[in-house]
Amino acid sequence: MTKIHHDVDTALSSVKNGHTLMVGGFGLIGAPLTLIDGLTKKDVSGLTVISNNLGEPGKGLGALLSQKKIKKAIGSYFTSNREVGDAYQRGEIELELLPQGTLSESMRAGGAGIGGYYTKTGVGTDLAKGKEEREINGQTYLFEPAIRADVALIKAWKADTLGNLIYYKTARNFNPLMATAADIVIVEVEEIVEPGELSPEEIVTPHLFVDGIFLARKRLTKEGVIDHE
């Protein structure tokens, strides 16, 4: 059965009310902008979104935030979008702040089947409140649970029709980790090629992690987000 989806509604059919989503991107770089745009048009609500940030005002996940479809966000850098703080102050969204390294390692643990891990990051700060502490070799560590999601929406540069993925420079960011840590993985790509056209040395995410492939219709340029030519 083909993994390629030709319309965004079909690509997003796995996303349901109340789901936990991982969404790739650092700012708007490496974010699956076409799939996010599709979510703004889908009748879905009560989402928990795991992402480094929530886009920018009206752009990327920021557009989803404006529609009040996000119940909770777990991430590291929410201040890139002033509207996130405003929504939090109004009680419209719950936020869970994790340092970027902790966010990455928690997703890696989720993908590796590890229940959690201990880290020194956050010890002695408000981020440690309510978390288990343990002394290891005379130093205090915090326990951080692994993170997984129902669905991951990620962005890659190229995919072959099997679902093997390669990424473009910093657009790689959180996407490969998210590909391992969700029950269903949908990837938005710039180009789809035949098996054998990607060098095995370039492939970062093997096809066994990918459930669906969608060809991007929006892209990020110096001028902003535009429709794909």
Domain edges within the chain = 4-115+147-227
Q: What is the pLDDT of residue 190?
A: 96
- Cβ-count burial of 217 within 10 angstroms (0-12 exposed, 13-18 middle, 19+ buried)? middle
pLDDT, residue 123, reads 97
> How far from 66 is each of 26, 70, 109, CA to CA, in Å?
19, 9, 31
Q: Are strands 165-166 and 182-193 parallel, antiparallel or unpaired?
A: unpaired
Bridge partners, 142 (sequence order): 119, 133
The span from the first CA to the last CA of the chain, in angstroms, equals 28
Which residue has tokens 């979510």? 39
Whether domain 4-115+147-227 has CATH 1.10.10.10: the reply is no
What is the pLDDT at residue 65? 97
CA torsion 161→164→167→171, rounded to 10°? 90
Does residue 200 contact residue 192 with C-beta atoms inside 8 Å? no
Beta strand 4-5 with 212-215 is: parallel
Contact assessment for residue 167 and residue 157, using Cβ atoms and an 8 Å cutoff: yes
* Residues in the chain where the model's pLDDT stays below 70: 1, 218-226, 228-229
Residue 219 pLDDT: 65
For residues 127 and 129, give the distance between their C-alpha atoms in angstroms, rounded to a whole number: 6
pLDDT of residue 92: 96
